Structure 1
């Protein structure tokens, strides 16, 4: 990317800018590729806001903090950013990390627009301070379950690791599939190595294996083991959380990483704004942008609209700005609403696709299903 994030201590303190705190995973064990794409979208939108005159004539400034997929580090960053006087906090990719950030933002009365995390319960109680652009996990993963059912899969195995996020995904799939004739078999990768997972798949009679595990380990070894097991040539490997979205997946797995369906939050065809932003993001990243980069861009579009409407950095700290939002994002018109079972303000119009990498051309994505 063109510009690295500002290190701590280099932000302006003279009040000349309107500051937004940005939480992104930029170092391991965070998903660094996702963080880079998220930051690219955030930075591009900030540049364009400033080129158009900023916020009431004041420049918009991004104050970046690396969460490294650490919930405690994210919560501490929210405290620091609040102390610096940011008007709002934005970003984050990992759901468990976003939940920690949302809890602190809620406690502080600091607006937080979550860009990419999908976990339904970002906060324990309904809050006026937190909103989300990404679809809730319950919605997106139900779309994925519809795709599985439509493809004829009724017995689904899930390889899992301990995590609130993975446990939530397993529950969503089980509850949605059961009344529709589907069953879920859970395989704990703490107790099973890749070879043992293959044995369990054969024994279970599952026709699909979903990777509810971290990337690259153990996701990559699991894919390699299944692809090489002649007993499992007909089984479908899926990754609803989106592990195959980024180039590292293809680099590590080659052809083995193709035909692994995952969730992506893009429309079938981008409109004029999305196409223009996509081209600019491609130039900035040196590769095709993921949906996460578009989420980053849309995050700043929303916050700029909120800040312009309220006109002052201090006024932006008044609760409840989300119901008034109505802006055109790269992937459609963005409005927020209260959704049953979701504790934060939610954009319900985010597009959802199930896509995979084409075996004949692994750098090309195929749209298999849309929700």
Structure 2
């Protein structure tokens, strides 16, 4: 089912410049992340239009729900290309973004990926795709450094099968091993949360990382570990950022606190970021996540590119190395990074944070990179 577009988002009179937006808005997609991403995209579109649009033409968003399905995302890219969008934006799930990037590249459609971090976003280097979120190898190495600094050398990971989770486990292992750390993978296809606790009780791991989906099985795993007296000293971590969203606290309450995760925000927002934060909070009726800022920054970049190139896809795709835009989280420029085949903002600010047990709505910054 296609998500209804924003009002007026599919005009056919050629008066608007249209951006296609891929967003997970229904299960099994991470709906909370999708809602925040869309809020950021829509807020920026509104502000671009209030400032005169793209050379006097309104900027409009054509939204499609990916529901975390790579095939659905690829079909949406085909549809959006036929609708004549000037560029593609969005997506949160890495495996879905990878499918969208491959299809967009094949069709010659510029794609600015907002939130997905998988290093290999495309099989081969391409000029058409750029990304705002940091590559997984960069962010997860910072997380590994945090673990080492906190004294954790024996790490267990509760893992599900996925290119994204397997990549994360490999990054952690490769970074920790030369520094005396070990990573033991526990396959959640074969273990219940209770059986996982038994495995952990027989191991000497001091940290358990959740390389699994949300809410299942992440929420029951956290509940089981928190209630097992044998595991009172183990730290639970979630590098992929599951605790960022309010639904985590709704599901787990106090059990969801003190679980370190990665988020892509500076310690202090500048003037633009603070203004956007206020507007996003009003739109979302809750504190905006870093994903909402990624959405806003995506449109900010694309608007600047489109002002310079119009709706010409080829010129837009060739403009990434010339972009320089003030975003909500710093100055955005794109470059080539070894091992990453797309134009990359290197790097957004990165923090390791957790939710404060004394005040679950407040985040504590534990490490920056």
* TM bucket normalised to smaller: over 0.9
Q: Confirm or deny: 8 A CA contact 1:156 1:207 kept in the other structure.
A: yes
| 3-state SS, counterpart of residue 343 of structure 1 | strand
Are 2:368 and 1:370 equivalent residues in the alignment? yes
Counterparts in 2 of 1:317 and 1:67: CA distance versus 1, 3 Å:
farther
Q: 2: distance between equivalents of 1:352 and 1:106? A: 28
Q: 2: distance between equivalents of 1:198 and 1:96? A: 29
Are 2:338 and 1:344 equivalent residues in the alignment? no
Q: 2: distance between equivalents of 1:122 and 1:83? A: 23
Q: Confirm or deny: 8 A CA contact 2:9 2:62 kept in the other structure.
A: no
Q: Which runs of 5+ in 1 are unaligned?
A: none
| 3-state SS, counterpart of residue 249 of structure 2 | helix
| 3-state SS, counterpart of residue 217 of structure 1 | coil
| 1:358 corresponding residue in structure 2 | 356
Are 2:42 and 1:53 equivalent residues in the alignment? no
Q: 2: distance between equivalents of 1:336 and 1:10? A: 29
| 1:113 corresponding residue in structure 2 | 112
Q: Confirm or deny: 8 A CA contact 2:9 2:61 kept in the other structure.
A: no
Q: Confirm or deny: 8 A CA contact 2:257 2:360 kept in the other structure.
A: yes
| 2:331 corresponding residue in structure 1 | 333
Q: 1: distance between equivalents of 2:278 and 2:345? A: 25
| 3-state SS, counterpart of residue 308 of structure 1 | helix
Q: Confirm or deny: 8 A CA contact 2:210 2:239 kept in the other structure.
A: yes
| 3-state SS, counterpart of residue 335 of structure 1 | strand
| 1:219 corresponding residue in structure 2 | 218
| 3-state SS, counterpart of residue 202 of structure 2 | helix
Q: 1: distance between equivalents of 2:316 and 2:9? A: 27
| 3-state SS, counterpart of residue 40 of structure 1 | helix
**TM-score normalized with structure 2 length:** 0.98
| 1:136 corresponding residue in structure 2 | 135
Q: Confirm or deny: 8 A CA contact 1:102 1:112 kept in the other structure.
A: yes
- Shift in Å, 1:313: 1.1
Q: 1: distance between equivalents of 2:6 and 2:363? A: 36
- Deviating beyond 3 angstroms after TM superposition, the runs of 4 or more aligned structure 1 residues are 7-10, 315-319
- Shift in Å, 1:33: 0.5
- Shift in Å, 1:199: 1.1
Q: Confirm or deny: 8 A CA contact 2:6 2:61 kept in the other structure.
A: no
| 2:29 corresponding residue in structure 1 | 30
Q: Confirm or deny: 8 A CA contact 1:333 1:349 kept in the other structure.
A: no
| 1:17 corresponding residue in structure 2 | 16
Q: Please list, as runs of the form range in 1=range in 2, the aligned pairs for 1:221-260 lying within 5 A after superposition.
A: 221-260=220-259
Q: Please list, as runs of the form range in 1=range in 2, the aligned pairs for 1:114-193 lying within 5 A after superposition.
A: 114-193=113-192
- Shift in Å, 1:65: 0.3
| 3-state SS, counterpart of residue 337 of structure 1 | strand
| 1:264 corresponding residue in structure 2 | 263
Q: 2: distance between equivalents of 1:316 and 1:363? A: 45
Q: Confirm or deny: 8 A CA contact 1:87 1:111 kept in the other structure.
A: yes
Instruction: For residues 308-361 of structure 1, give each alpha carbon's deviation from its aligned partner in whole angstroms, at most 9, with x where no partner exists.
Output: 111x21255553210010000000000000000001000012000000000011
| 3-state SS, counterpart of residue 33 of structure 1 | helix
